[in-house]
Structure formats: structure tokens, C-alpha cells
Structure 1
């Protein structure tokens, strides 16, 4: 069940991060819509102001308390098999905007193989050890 009210949404995050990434600045300035109408037009709330599941996931203050399973679990194993010991295990329980900002550096610090273009193919390559 999505959030119950606008109080369950991070409206500052909506205004500063989400809205500018979805709507051109000149459009925001030109139309002068109140936040409630902006949220509704982007389907983050219903027309009567109740947060939708999308709104809860994108800018909810605590999505996993309203939507079971609304989190990302990051697991890195010490080996190549799922039977290998776990090297790192984290549950990221935030809205999608927050998870994305935490997940990017987490992935960058744990990627051990990169794809290298070889003609029309991509080949996995491990970085040289120093």
C-alpha cells in the first residue's frame, strides 16, 4: 500500500532532484503550478493528493514501510559462485533517488571486470594488478 499522505513524501527532494530531471526549467517557471499539481501531473500522487505507488518509490520518505520488498539488496561474493562466502551485503532502504546515489559508488568500488570493445564484440577484461 503506498504512502497515506503528502507528509510521507520528501517534497524537497522532489523539487530539487526529481522535478528538474523530468521537466525543463523553462517549463517549470512558465507554468507556475503548485507542488501538489506538479506531483499529480507526473503521476506521483492522485488528483486528490494521495501518493501513488510510483510516488512512494521515487520520493517517499520510507518506501519499504509502505511497500513490502521496496529495497535493493547488494551482495558481492568472494568468488564467482553463489556458494562463495559473502564479501559485502547491504540493504539499501530508501527511495529510488536515494538508492541511485548510494548504488553508483558502491558498484564502482566493487566492479572487478570491465567490457572492452574488440571490433563488434565486447570482451570481459580484468584490470591488471599492480
Structure 2
């Protein structure tokens, strides 16, 4: 009886591990949150550190191409494209920083799509 119980426990453990497997959105959402969180944080300091904001914005925009490639599904890719477009319409750093300061991080299209996929993103604390 103990062998049978042990076999059932092993089988149940395998089933539970398979059911609780990694959420494919986690890596993408975390990457996006890290990159864009830094941008939001730097935007808050734009008035005192515009050069730092420029550097963060440039590196973030470069990094976002890699991040998009990691989107595990069309829904997250569409959300990314929408959010990315919103960040690229500004020709000047000041306009982008102002937009980000006035924007609620929770309303970012990717943040909302990630939440629907079970991944909660929070803005970078600085």
C-alpha cells in the first residue's frame, strides 16, 4: 500500500507541477516593466536631470525591440505596439517626459494586458 501511495504522490506532484507551469507572459511582462519603469522614474526627474532622462529614454527605446520579440502572444504584442507608439510620437524628450509624468502607469496598455495574463506590474520606485 505504501508503494501505491508513493506512486500516487509522485504522479500527483507531476500533475500539479505541469498545471502550475510557468506563465509564458511573466518574462515578457517583467522585461517590459523593468524597462518602462525606469523610463517613468526618470521622467519624474526630468526637470533636474534632463540628460539622464535622455540616456534612459534612448536605452529603453533600444531595449524595447528586444522586449517585443519576447511577447508570447498576439494580445501582448498588440498592447506593446500601442504603448510603444504612444512613446514614439514625441520628437523631444521634454514632451515624452511630460506625457509619462501625466500618465498613470496602471493605464499603460502592456501593464493592463499583463494584468489580464496574471502578471501585475508596478512602477519603478526610483
Task: Indicate the TM-score class for this superposition, using the shorter chain for normalisation.
Answer: under 0.3
Query: TM-score normalised to the size of structure 1?
Result: 0.25
More helix, by proportion: 2
More strand, by proportion: 1
Query: TM-score normalised to the size of structure 2?
Result: 0.25
